[in-house]
Structure 1
Amino acid sequence: MLPFFLSRGFYRVYHQDVEKEKETHNYLSTEEIKEKVHNYNLTVTDKLKMTLNSNGIYTGFIKVQMELCRPLSVWTSRNEEKHAFINNGCMNTLHISSTNTVREVIEALLKKFLVSESPAKFALYKRCHKEDQVYTCKLSDREHPLYLRLVAGPKTETLSFVLRERETGEWEAFSLPELQNFLRILNKEEDEQLQNLKRRYATYRHKLEEALQGTWKLD
């Protein structure tokens, strides 16, 4: 399997910074929110419904896919730091409110995985499917993901969320020891993959040799 940062090239993904996009949100009135929450709950299929409170704040669920290219600094059970890869492609479900911002969602995800790094090193993206293409846009820290989920509806094909490292100056944000440690981890994983591959082919070779010997004995 190719590393994630190589396999990403197989997808036609278009990145556009939210500041450049100049997207504006027309926030809804209380009655419009009530209607949209009602319609959302009628169409949801995974039982992850939204709840509208009397103060106008609503709560619900969003799913965020992890797409990270490098090992992260995480806390161990002994309260020590180590570097580890977070399982790419895994989907995380968060219960949030309409007041929670993108920054708070990022902080919640990092806390869930015991990541000790600054939330400023990460960004939340929204992903939309349009015809045969995938459109991805970075969200600003002040946006509200549950509002976007409510407006788009429950279908992840219409809208989904992705957590990634920030692209601009990504590697410049790390110290030399951190980069050297990342390189050691990558080298170790490469060596492990190579050894697994050698063992796999050695097993195949052994079975083929046994099959050939059996054929010769029959002859």
Structure 2
Amino acid sequence: MGAAMCKLSDKVGQHVRKRSTGCKYTCHTSCRDRVSLDCHPAASPLSQDQLNNNNTQFHDVEKERELRTEFSREEIRQRIEQYNMVTRDHLKMTLGPSGVYTGFIKVQLDLRRPVTVRGGQRGGGGAVVEEAFYLPRGVTNTLHISSNNTVRQVIVALLNKFTVADNPAKYALYKRCRREEQVYVCKLADGEQPLFLRLVAGPDADTLSFVLREQQTGEVMWDAFSIPELHNFLRILDKEEQEQRDAVIRRYEAYRQRLQEALREVRGAS
């Protein structure tokens, strides 16, 4: 963060710089109070574990930088050839004459709230019937997209595929990566291009996969839902409440029957 502040100061104007006595870190005087450094003049040599960690962090930074770097058409062609050689599910990419390429991405659905789905028309009035229900979690869908398609367009395409009538702004696309047995999940910006990320990462789903989730706002924004959607939610909640009530009644009814049977056995034995 300190380096980012200093770069920002460089854009605003020139300031006096302050050099740390323990390393070669240089900072503006105005940023000094907001920067903390853990360095010492007589630092001990780094251990091999520290070197490995630093190399891993450097690799991750370079990887993230690479994801946001535009490639030439020749580099794109080479990467597509490499991608098609190692893909195992025959979902290959195709480079067009204009430099735009097409391919497939798989998106896993991880929705915790019910969605509103458009149904058929009701009666002769032509009104479209909308129903709310839960989409099965963990289902993976395959989309054929181009390198120009953005995250927002992918979300809209997924919702249209399931005839979901909800506002696309309620949903977000996340990328999930696995590094050294650790899983990292990061929300993608609306303008990012999923097929480009897929090309750079390669076809391995452990390296990169996509997940559709609700927007993480901390709490449900009920104002964003329409009146029919809210009524559908209430109907679902009423149904779930009745199912829970029936389950409790059945459980205690079975318990009551076992008690009565035990009492009869005791009375019969006496």
- TM bucket normalised to smaller: 0.7 to 0.9
Structure 1 match to 2:71: 28
Partner of 1:65: 108
Deviation at 1:189, TM superposition (A): 3.4
TM-score by length of 2: 0.61
- Look up the match of 1:157: 206
Question: Residues 175 and 108 (structure 1 numbering): CA distance in 2 closer, same or farther, change over 3 Å?
Answer: closer
Q: Deviations over 1:171-205 (max 9, x none)?
A: 12445954564254144235447757959xx7xx9
Aligned-partner residue type, residue 102 of structure 1: V
Which of structures 1 and 2 has the bigger CA Rg?
2
- Is contact 1:121-1:170 (8 Å) kept? no
Give the alignment partner of residue 182 of structure 1, picking from 227, 233, 237: 233
Provide the TM-score with structure 1 as the length reference. Answer: 0.74
CA distance in 1 between partners of 2:226 and 2:173 (Å):
26
Deviations 1:61-81 (Å, cap 9, x if unpaired)?
A: 000000001111110122211
Q: Which has the higher contact order (CA 8 A, sep 6+)?
A: 1
CA contact (8 A) 2:131 2:232 kept: no
Identity of paired residues, percent? 55
Distance in 2, Cα, partners of 1:96 & 1:155: 18
Q: Structure 1: how far apart are the matches of 2:190 and 2:69?
A: 18
1:130 equivalenced with 2:173 (yes/no): no
Higher mean C-alpha displacement, 37-46 vs 131-140: 131-140
C-alpha distance in 1 between matches for 2:245 and 2:139: 25
Counterpart of 1:168? 217
Cα distance in 2 for residues equivalent to 1:193 and 1:52: 54
Work out the CA distance in 2 between the residues paired with 1:174 and 1:58.
36
Shift of 1:158: 0.4
Q: Is the 8 A contact 1:70 1:182 kept in 2?
A: no
Going from structure 1 to structure 2, the CA distance change for 1:179 and 1:32 (only over 3 Å counts) comes to same
- Which of structure 1's runs of 4+ aligned residues deviate more than 2 A? 173-184, 189-199
Distance 2:70 2:157 in 1: 24
d(CA) in 2 for partners of 1:170 and 1:77?
Answer: 32
Q: Does 1:89 align with 2:167?
A: no
Q: Counterpart of 2:240 in structure 1: which amino acid?
A: E
1:176–1:147 distance in 2 versus 1, CA, 3 Å:
closer
Paired with 2:106 and 2:247, the residues of 1 have a C-alpha distance of 34
| Partner-residue secondary structure (3-state), 1:126 | strand
Distance in 1 separating the partners of 2:245 and 2:206: 37
CA contact (8 A) 2:151 2:194 kept: yes
- What SS class does the counterpart of residue 146 from structure 1 fall into? helix
Aligned equivalents of 1:40, 1:170: Cα separation in 2 = 40
RMSD: 2.7
- Aligned equivalents of 1:190, 1:121: Cα separation in 2: 25
The 1:39/1:182 distance shift into structure 2, 3 A limit, reads same
Helix, strand or coil: the match of 1:76? Answer: strand
Corresponding residue of 1:44: 87
* Paired residue secondary structure (2:116): strand
The one-character-per-residue Cα deviations of 1:95-133 (angstroms, maximum 9, x if unpaired) are: 000000000000000001111111111000000011222
Contact 2:110/2:213, CA 8 A, preserved across alignment: yes
The aligned length equals 183
In structure 2, what is the equivalent of residue 144 of structure 1? 193
| Secondary structure at 2:120 match in 1 | coil
Matched, 1:98 2:147: yes
Give the gaps of 5 or more residues in structure 1: 1-21, 210-219
